[in-house]
Structure 1
């Protein structure tokens, strides 16, 4: 009797379970790390709104703030490792599909691929910062430098304009999905009490709308930089957030957006707890 044939399905099942547990752990670690960054950026933006702080309200500013805390170096390495987990989770979605009935569709895998590239870059920048190489500089300078190089390329104005328009569309899409509570499809709602579900909706809707608004604004600045052929008009996260304080509503619009970022950080923690992976 060939025992290897009967044992093979069991071994395959064990491998699938181990892979599933590893992917789930990586996803939850990554969502927690994302929550920490958004929470810190939101707090920094609130400081800018009330005190005209010179600190950067972006990933670099958040990491610098974290580095000043007790055990800051340990926290930075933990954050970077968590973001590596996020990237690995997205890689698994590209290779094997994501949770849900349409998780294996090409469009879903392509979106996971975009997220893989983004979170790989973020993880690298955080780990570089933790290692002391300053890998997470000002988002404003990075945006201007990238825009300047892109504008010098053939058809550069069109490329930058198209990228900016794409970011605007992505921002509107993010905000609309938050308003429609599309994230419900990814959550284990049955494990939540009615009160918890309401609190998660507050963080999901408020945080998603704020995040979408910032994306759309940053994309608008990129389009303006392309039209005027002036890379200095492109803005990173810090300058984009500060621009909300320069509207007729004054600092109060920035307060709302900053509070939304804090809410999105809390929403990320909720996703780390209840998201289906």
Structure 2
């Protein structure tokens, strides 16, 4: 029987993944629109700034911010308590540490979105460049930014691997709808991972040259695709990929399995697929 605390943790998890889903629907939708219009592709912060001007936009931003803070709680608790049963070996400890770090990052994003909702946040790209420059100005700043770039690249490659090898099927409960949209989940993870690698490369250049202006977030990664040959087509595929990644997050919100809470008997997507082959 699931205790009240376990049930609360699962709903916290659901809120977090749902908030991420909303964000990437916005970013992906704007990127896809930019592929076929004079508009520029937007990063996360710029997309949310546009949302603020919409009817009920401030209320929606606050809901997203609360959702990301919920995601922070979920990831930190999952890492500390090990509800996903990664274990205490070297691989397990790295996975749990990654959960805690990503939780902290999303908590920071949630706070920045809350600041945006109440009108006290600066521009997305300019703010990111300012923070990067502040780090570069520290003793050993280039090394810090380079390390961050390597970590981000590793995260991107992890998402690509997770999608390409269908590793997400091990922690999603079997459902007929999931079987139908499985190619979209795979596509979303691979595209999102590839975009993270592009962001990491820009931070690598910033560290190499010591120039914060060479760093860029998701918006710059999307713009770099648009500037290539057949760039509008690539940007369109990337926009659709981010929407697919949003769908993946919404699937996590609904069908995510937490081993320490749900137990070993829940049929996963992978088990269901193996049973049918």
TM over 0.5: yes
Between the two proteins, the alignment pairs up a number of residues equal to 256
Once the 2 structures are TM-superposed, how far is the Cα of residue 65 of structure 1 from its aligned partner? 2.9
Contiguous gaps of at least 5 residues in structure 1: 1-12
User: Superposed, which structure 2 residues align to 1:174-253 within 5 Å?
Assistant: 174-189=159-174, 192-193=175-176, 196-199=178-181, 201-253=182-234
Q: Give the whole-Å Cα distance in 2 for the aligned partners of 1:58 and 1:179.
A: 25
Residue 149 of structure 2 corresponds to: 164
Alignment counterpart, residue 3 of structure 2, candidates 17, 39, 48: 17
Once the 2 structures are TM-superposed, how far is the Cα of residue 103 of structure 1 from its aligned partner? 8.4
Is the contact made by 1:103 and 1:109 (CA closer than 8 Å) also made in structure 2? no
Q: Which structure has the bigger radius of gyration? A: 1
Once the 2 structures are TM-superposed, how far is the Cα of residue 240 of structure 1 from its aligned partner? 1.5
Q: Give the whole-Å Cα distance in 2 for the aligned partners of 1:259 and 1:47.
A: 10
Mark the CA change 1:245 to 1:229 in structure 2 (over 3 Å): closer, same or farther.
same
1:147-192 Cα distance to aligned partner (Å, 9 max, x none): 2222222232232223223322221221111111111111112xx1
Residue 269 of structure 2 corresponds to: none
Whether 2:109 is the aligned partner of 1:127: answer: no
1:65-97 Cα distance to aligned partner (Å, 9 max, x none): 322333222222221211121111112213311
Is the contact made by 2:86 and 2:93 (CA closer than 8 Å) also made in structure 1? no
Contiguous gaps of at least 5 residues in structure 2: 259-277
Q: Give the whole-Å Cα distance in 1 for the aligned partners of 2:73 and 2:142.
A: 34
Whether 2:21 is the aligned partner of 1:40: answer: no
Once the 2 structures are TM-superposed, how far is the Cα of residue 36 of structure 1 from its aligned partner? 0.2
Once the 2 structures are TM-superposed, how far is the Cα of residue 117 of structure 1 from its aligned partner? 0.8
Say which SS state the counterpart of residue 228 (structure 2) adopts.
Answer: coil
Q: If the length of structure 1 is used for normalisation, what is the TM-score?
A: 0.85
Once the 2 structures are TM-superposed, how far is the Cα of residue 101 of structure 1 from its aligned partner? 5.9
CA RMSD of aligned residues (A): 2.0
Deviates more, 1:31-40 or 1:112-121: 112-121
Runs of 4+ off more than 4 Å: none
Residue 83 of structure 1 corresponds to: 68
Q: If the length of structure 2 is used for normalisation, what is the TM-score?
A: 0.85
Alignment counterpart, residue 82 of structure 2, candidates 85, 97, 110: 97
